[in-house]
Amino acid sequence: MITTKPVCVTGASGFIAAHIIRDLLDRGYSVRGTVRKSPQSYPFLLGLSGAKERLELVQADLLTAGAYDRIIEGCEYVMHTASPYEINVKNPQTDLVDPAVNGTETVLESCQKSGSVKRIIFTSSIAAITDEPNSMKVFTEKDWNTMSSLERHPYHYSKTLAERAAWDFVMRKRQNFDLVVINPFMVIGPSLSPSLNTTNRMIRDIMSGVYPGIMDINWGFVDVRDVAKAHLLAMETDTASGRYLCSAETLHMKGLVALLKSSGFSTYALPKVDLSGKAGTILMKVLSYTQPRDTGMYIRTNIGRTFRYDNAKILHELGISFMPIKDSLTETVKDMIRWGHLPQSR
Ligand code: NAP
């Protein structure tokens, strides 16, 4: 344990944050988590082992100036995970960018005012690295997403602006704390809460007949328990610095569907038609215009391209080892069945 002071975790109710909190409590830390509703609304957090003695939930909203001042006061480490994670929103500026960017600035201001914070661990995303794969390029932490805007991949835009704001703040203000950033790819895995995370929902949709066929599309995946582990390592490793691209394995949609079939889920409405050839890609690009705006955009900028990235920095500097995605995927599906997001069988 590197601190006896409470570790502040913003967005405690979130899919990733709940796992971070569980790990922190398991390792003996005290936690001050921020939530938007009354603390009693989060029995899945209050029921964690050690929560009764060492978890405090405090209400705060990213859009309220100064909301985190009192909360962060006295903390040495802050994990800033809170940020809206949604793909199709009505108003990208107010629904995504404002809470992501203003919220980050608000939290960092509070860290600075506190005088006690030593390090902030910021949950960014692959979205801040790029919003489209490039088959000819291997992405690393040196890359920045320069393509997104309010019209093009607004979620990616919000994450890019928020991470930039965090780095700018640290450079500009020269305060006493440092910043370490985790950039996860698609995070899947069991959920501690009944809600269905946006990425797990994509797996649910693939199993529920939402996708017309198998597309030529691929993603990096990482298990939520490994993402939580990465946050703790970023806090506890004195030499941790900069950004950490956090992804275990890349899976093509074809491989994903095959894995689901071979893992005992073949009776679900998995896509059957193979549209991963050139003709299928053209067809899917046309059909993408029938999808919600941002889903359509995602298909058009990702289909027919191979996502390549290098995760060596996190492996070597934080010493993390990732669980196999096959296991993670199986547990994700079983967990969605347990929570009732998927039927027992079809
Ligand atoms: P999540 O379950 O939707 O959690 C988001 C959290 O942010 C929730 O606690 C939410 O609170 C909070 N939040 C949103 N708007 C807020 C506001 N205005 N004020 C205060 N809190 C607010 O998503 P997640 O997957 O755990 O994501 C956590 C972080 O990881 C995000 O920064 C996301 O961009 C990043 N990330 C996620 C993935 C992924 O695949 N899941 C991949 C890369 C990066 P409520 O519960 O009250 O809504």
Q: Give the mean pLDDT of 154-180.
A: 92
Whether the predicted pLDDT of 320 surpasses 80: yes
- Ligand 1 centroid – CA 235 distance (Å): 19
**Tokens standing for 293?**
């705006």
Q: What one-letter code names the amino acid at 334? A: K
Question: Per-domain residue ranges for the chain?
Answer: 7-189+220-247+307-322
Distance 150 CA to ligand 1 centre (A): 19
Gap between the Cα atoms of 2 and 80, Å rounded: 18
**What residue owns the CA closest to ligand 1's atom 20?**
61
Q: Which atom of ligand 1 is nearest to the CA of 17?
A: 26
pLDDT category at 251 given cuts 50, 70, 90 is very high
Q: How high does pLDDT run on average in the chain?
A: 95
pLDDT range class, residue 135, cuts 50, 70, 90: confident
Query: Which residue's alpha carbon is at the smallest distance from atom 29 of ligand 1?
Result: 81
- Span 311-315, mean pLDDT? 98
Measure the CA–CA gap between 61 and 82, rounded to whole angstroms.
9
Alpha-carbon distance of 203 to 200, in angstroms, equals 5
Active-site residue (options: 5, 37, 90, 159)? 159
Determine the distance separating the centroid of ligand 1 and the alpha carbon of 167, expressed in angstroms: 20
Q: Are 225 and 14 within 8 A, CB to CB?
A: no
List the structure tokens of 344: 């027992």
pLDDT score for 42:
98
Contact 190, 224 (CB under 8 A): yes
Q: For residue 12, report the distance from its CA to the centre of ligand 1, in Å.
A: 9
Lining residues, ligand 1, CB within 6 Å: 11, 13-17, 36, 61-63, 81-85, 99, 123, 125, 159, 184, 186-187, 197, 199
Grade residue 340 by pLDDT with cuts at 50, 70 and 90.
very high
Protein residue with its CA nearest to atom 28 in ligand 1: 81
Amino acid letter for position 141:
E
Work out the angle at residue 299's Cα, subtended by the Cα atoms of residues 294 and 304, and round it to the nearest 5 degrees: 160
Q: Which residues have C-beta within 8 Å of that of residue 172, sequence separation ≥ 6? A: none
Q: Which CATH class is domain 7-189+220-247+307-322?
A: alpha beta
What's the 21 CA to ligand 1 centre distance in angstroms?
14
From atom 5 of ligand 1, which residue's Cα is the shortest distance away? 14
pLDDT confidence of residue 246 = 98
Residue 231 in this model has a pLDDT that exceeds 70: yes
Q: In this structure, which residue's CA is closest to atom 11 in ligand 1?
A: 11
Task: Identify whether 37 is a catalytic site residue.
Answer: no
59, pLDDT greater than 90: yes
- State yes or no: pLDDT of 166 exceeds 70: yes
Position in ligand 1 atom list of the atom nearest CA 86 = 3
Using pLDDT thresholds of 50, 70 and 90, give the confidence band for residue 296: confident
Write the pLDDT tens digit of every residue in 39-51. 999 999 999 999 9
Edge-first strand order for the sheet with 119-123 is 55-59, 31-35, 7-10, 77-80, 119-123, 178-184, 242-246
Pocket-testing residue among 8, 10, 16, 102, ligand 1, by greatest number of atoms within 8 A of Cβ: 16
User: What is the per-residue burial (b if ≥16 Cβ within 10 Å, else e) of 11-26?
Assistant: bbbbbbbbbbbbbbbe
pLDDT the model gives residue 295: 84
pTM: 0.97
Q: Are 77 and 8 in contact (CB under 8 A)?
A: yes
Q: Give the residue, out of 9, 15, 126, 339, with the most ligand 1 atoms within 8 A of its beta carbon, to mutate for a pocket test.
A: 15
Confidence of residue 114 (pLDDT cuts 50, 70, 90): very high
Q: Which atom of ligand 1 is nearest to the CA of 18?
A: 26
Q: Using CB atoms within 10 A of its CB, is residue 112 exposed (0-12), middle (13-18) or buried (19+)?
A: middle
* pLDDT tens-digit series, residues 8-38: 999 999 999 999 999 999 999 999 999 999 9
Q: Check residue 176 and give its pLDDT.
A: 84
Q: Which of 193, 208, 198 is nearest to 342 (CA)?
A: 208
> Average pLDDT of 305-320?
96
Q: Is residue 259 a contact partner of residue 251, using CB atoms and an 8 Å limit?
A: yes
How far is ligand 1, taken at its centre, from the CA of residue 280, in Å? 34
Question: How high is the pLDDT of residue 174?
Answer: 67
Short-list 246, 254, 241, CA closest to 224:
246
| Whether 221 contacts 188, CB under 8 Å | yes
pLDDT digits (tens, 9 = 90+) for 201-223: 999 999 999 888 999 999 999 99
End-to-end CA distance of the chain: 47
Judged on CB neighbours under 10 Å (0-12, 13-18, 19+), 221 is buried
Q: Quote the pLDDT of residue 191.
A: 98
d(CA 72, CA 114): 7
* pLDDT over 80 (residue 346): no
Nearest CA to ligand 1 atom 39: 187
